[in-house]
Amino acid sequence: MINIKDFSKLELRVGDIISAEPLENAKTQAYKLKIDFGRLGRKQSSAQITELYSPEGLIGKKIIAVTNFKPIKVAGFNSEVLVLGVQNEKGAIVLISPDIDLIAGSKVS
């Protein structure tokens, strides 16, 4: 189990998806996302969310992401943040997003 001090090391932020396209050569279908985090700048992420979302439907969507993980390479793509989601009963990922309009870069607390 982790404690609150461990959890507080995570930096969770609100971001606006500004572009989405298929991630070619990925072992599991995924999208390349470009996300605006306001004053923190723009970051990119690989996200396995192709079952429920189209690239066009993702543009402008607000998401929650972990912004302080070390970047990883996914199919040659540099993924800088981890977009958060929840698996539904069929195993598809549903994005976690705020239910009111928030400023990009807002910290989740």
State pLDDT tens for residues 10-42: 999 999 999 999 999 999 999 999 999 999 999
Q: What pLDDT does 108 receive?
A: 96
What is the b/e burial string over 13-43, where b = at least 16 CB atoms within 10 angstroms of the residue's CB? bbbbbeebeebeebeeebbbbbbbbeebeeb
> Sorting pLDDT into bands at 50, 70 and 90, what band is 2?
very high
Domain ranges of the chain: 11-95
Domain at 11-95, CATH class: mainly beta
Global confidence as pTM? 0.94
